[in-house]
Structure 1
């Protein structure tokens, strides 16, 4: 059975490893004093040659601190990523979070989830 929206990257790199796992650990993302996100239902992506990435459900993110940007990037394995700025009082961080709004079939598990760059937030705490 063929996929309706396959990741083209796997055609050239069929041995590419991308492992998604659900976690029930508590995750909190902080920006200065503000809690941007808190969840007990994240997805962790282990992708070869990259550090693990924690994806947080959009329902667990405080979007009053977020501002969608026009920035996008393309991954041949996941699709087109959209980006968000973080804004809080006088503080601002450009393109600090991303999401795959319409990912390839192999990455559908992270649709509706966002990830944060660790160096653009104050902390990503795992309990």
Structure 2
């Protein structure tokens, strides 16, 4: 079964940054991202096909604004329209972005920039 930690580990290996599953732990660096599953579509009644949604939230300090935005766009390009890859033991057949580019969603309580990336996955389990 696909889990956020598997997605975070996969991204860490492919696009080095600091990734966490589901939320930022206390003490996480300012420049970091979390990965969580966010629902999606009902699973197939007739096959092992599932279509979960995934959100990646990238944050960073104002002094690194260019680098943080660039990382969000690189992640978007890396994941959108990607096919046939593994996260842990789960085969992800397809990954498609839910919007046309990373979304700037404002700042958090510590004035760090936030970018949201949202994808729909087709997973065979």
TM-score bracket relative to the smaller structure: under 0.3
Give the number of the structure whose residues are more often strand, by fraction. Answer: 1
TM-score (norm 2): 0.26
TM-score (norm 1): 0.25
Give the number of the structure whose residues are more often helix, by fraction. Answer: 2
